[in-house]
Structure 1
Amino acid sequence: MGRIILVTGGARSGKSRFAEQLAADLGGRIAYIATARALDAEMADRIARHRQQRPAAWPTFEAPLSAAAVVAAEGGRCDGFLLDCLTVLITNRILAREADWDNPPMHRLAEIEADVLVEIEALIAAAAGQPVPLIAVTNEVGFGIVPLSPLARFFRDCAGRANQRLAAAADEVHLVVSGIPVCIKGGRSGPCVP
């Protein structure tokens, strides 16, 4: 049965670098699941920097909407998975659905969140059926102020609930703060050493 390791933290906290260190310890062939799309110059630059910091030998699977499908298909051909990042996957799934974000009806928001959680459950099930671990990176988006816009509030709430579900299923959860990883579930508590 596959293990799930969740790495969370704020933007630019060092969570991706820590997750890459954990993945490198699994072996030489890590299936890197990328969820970002280069829709503008800033995102293209972020994607390029992420590519430069990880080993070139890791095959990359572009999965902006369904990381679970990659995990289900590739488990026997790699030493582990690194999904970076769950928050972008959630964003992609939210924005793939039509909604009036200035005045969204509650039933529509419930449908969109249900779609996100279906992917989270599929990811958990796919990981459970693999002989190798899944390391998933996500953003902790609940530490800040309450966002002004309905879309931003919905994203924060939906991502928070998705993170809670994945954390509940995970064997280990690490919180990265200012480049320092702290183990908050599984393993030992306190600073983590990859």
Structure 2
Amino acid sequence: MDVLLLGTGGADGWPNPFCTCASCCSQRAAGEVRGPTAALVDEVLLLDAGPEAARAAERAGRDLAGVRHVLVTHPDHAHPDLVRWRPRSAEPLDLVGPVGALARYDDRLAPDDPVRRHPVRPGDTLGLGGYRVRVLAAAPCDAEAVLYDVTGPDGSRLLYAPVTGPLPEETLTRVAGAAYHLVLLEETHGDRPDAATGHLDLVSFGRQVAELRRRGAVVEGTDVVAVHLGHGNPPMPELARRLAAYGARVVPDGTLLTVGAPPPRRPRRVLVLGGARSGKSAEAERRLLAEPAVTYVATGGTRPGDPEWAARVAAHRARRPPSWRTVETTDLVGVLRTAATPVLIDCLSLWLTAVMDEMDAWDDAAWRGGAQERLAARVEELVAAWRSVRVPVIAVSNEVGSGVVPPTTAGRRFRDELGRLNTRIAAESEEVVLVVAGQVLPLRRPQG
């Protein structure tokens, strides 16, 4: 199947024509205008028929004369005039959708118009030409919407889910093991969640992809593309970077997708640097939200009698999905050598602190008496394990070299050793980023 994305925006497009937020202004400045989500499959099957679909096809150099089947997901995604414009002499058109969506065509179609209506509900299956279509339920909060599972004549398979929220259990059960070649999944609200609409944001999108992976609907070769994008999202370069961490991507309107083409590869080893309260831990956690299982390695340990530390730990735990397993240890080498699922290490600076505590490396006499050499050996062992790890791994570490020079010998020693450790880990990582005030600055970009 070839899928031409006629639109990738939400109902009001992106930028919103009446909005002056940073996201909309960035889109305008870049000349990136996104219309409501719609897709043309093999030039014969139209997924959603919103008010801009026809003009979007024209801009892409295509006509809709060959369309024989229209699948509508929601009343808001139905534009009656698009069907009414077809000549009476055209071949019959299959018009598929929930009852509420088809009702929008009642006063636009004459009895002799060459249109066959197919009202559908979740659970239905129908054949359209050489396509097999399964109708799926959207989020429970939107009873008017349906989603579509489409298998083409060549056996390629796509999930079209442009208007939903967290998928209901009945849909997750039906798509289990589907191993889709292409998933078009809505990501409407970005960093500004709106529970009232039920749409996905960047966090719930990542968790939804993780659940689809857990069910075998998204597999290694699945191309996941975010659609139904709204101005709650960050500007495009940042959105693309965030989605790439999920194994997903964003493409411009008018993009032709070849179903079955391999998706971009993600880096295996990533180092996230930053200062205190810079957002480095949140950035690292976001990058693994789309994984069905993660081992979170907390190197800070517990500090009895320190309520402020306990509050920090509780805040970190509250952000983690229930499927993540937390391990409190400084044996990073053992974790990396035996890991079977992606690993997040938070953080290397606390690991170094614990190791220096073990060796009493803060004491000048101990440092000169062999602690320096033992610490170097531990770092070398960690770097070797990092280099040979077989699963995706992200490590967080503090960047302390830009601050005030510590007043004590021990403080300067820690600063220097952490700088050396960060340098060694960075050299063995495919991607390195620095987080400043919540903004992610790439220091080393992954190849490919």
Is residue 18 from structure 1 mapped to residue 283 from structure 2 by the alignment?
yes
Correspondence for 1:130 among 386, 389, 399: 389
Retained in 1: the 8 A contact 2:360–2:371? no
Deviation per residue, 1:146-181 (Å, 9 max, x gap): 110111111111111111111111111010000011
Alignment of 1:75-114 (within 5 A): 75-76=339-340, 78=341, 80-98=342-360, 101=363, 104-105=364-365, 108=367, 111-114=370-373
- Cα distance between partner residues in 1 of 2:379 and 2:360: 20
Residue of structure 2 equivalent to 1:68 = 333
- Quick check: 43-52 or 84-93, which moved more? 43-52
2:275 counterpart of 1:37: no
Q: Which residue of 1 aligns with 2:104?
A: none
Q: 1:142 to 1:32 in 2, by over 3 A?
A: same
Q: Evaluate the alpha carbon distance shift between residue 69 and residue 178 of structure 1 in structure 2; reply closer, same or farther with a 3 A threshold.
A: same
Residue 312 of structure 2 aligns to a residue whose secondary structure is: helix
Partners of 1:45 and 1:149 in 2: CA distance? 29
Deviation at 1:116, TM superposition (A): 3.6
Deviates more, 1:151-160 or 1:41-50: 41-50
Shift in Å, 1:109: 5.2
Change (3 A) 1:136 1:123: same
Cα displacement (A) at 1:11: 0.6
Structure 1 residues 100 and 11, CA gap change in structure 2 (3 angstroms): closer
Give the distance between the partners of 2:439 and 2:315, measured in 1 at CA: 20
One-letter code of the match for 2:298?
Answer: A
Identity of aligned residues (%): 37
C-alpha separation in 2, matches of 1:29 and 1:128: 22
Secondary structure at the residue paired with 1:24?
coil
Q: Which amino acid aligns with 1:90?
A: L
| Partner Cα separation in structure 2 for residue 133 and residue 62 of structure 1 | 19
**Cα distance in 1, alignment partners of residues 375 and 404 from structure 2:** 23
Q: Describe the SS at the equivalent of 2:302.
A: coil
Q: Give CA deviations for 1:32-77 in whole Å, capped at 9, x if unaligned.
A: 11101221222222111110111121001111x321111212x22x
Once the two structures are TM-superposed, the CA of residue 182 in structure 1 deviates from its matched residue by: 1.1
- Of 115, 119, 122 in structure 1, the residue corresponding to residue 378 of structure 2 is 119
**Structure 1 residue 110, shift from structure 2 partner:** 7.9
The normalised TM-score by structure 2 is 0.38
Pick from 302, 317, 322 the counterpart of residue 56 of structure 1.
322
One-letter amino acid matched to 1:138: S
Cα gap change, 1:117/1:30 in structure 2, threshold over 3 Å: closer, same or farther? farther
User: What SS is found at the alignment partner of 2:288?
Assistant: helix
- 1:153 is matched with 412
Aligned residues: 179
Provide the C-alpha distance between the structure 1 equivalents of 2:432 and 2:361, rounded to a whole number of angstroms: 33
In the superposition, the TM-score normalised over structure 1's length comes to: 0.83
Match of 1:164 among 418, 423, 427: 423
In structure 2, give the amino acid aligned to 1:8: L
Q: 1:119 to 1:56 in 2, by over 3 A?
A: farther
Preserved CA contact (<8 Å) 1:3 1:127: no
Residues 132 and 151 from structure 1, CA distance in 2 versus in 1: closer, same or farther, beyond 3 angstroms? same
Does the 8 Å contact 2:386/2:428 carry over to 1?
Answer: no
Q: Which has the higher contact order (CA 8 A, sep 6+)?
A: 1
Corresponding residue of 1:192: none
For 1:51 and 1:182, the matched residues in 2 are separated by 26
Please give the alpha-carbon distance, in whole angstroms, between the structure 1 residues aligned to 2:385 and 2:354. Answer: 20
| Partner SS for 1:138 | strand
Q: Look up the SS of the partner of 1:174 in the other structure.
A: strand
Partners of 1:68 and 1:59 in 2: CA distance = 17
Q: CA RMSD, aligned part only?
A: 2.1
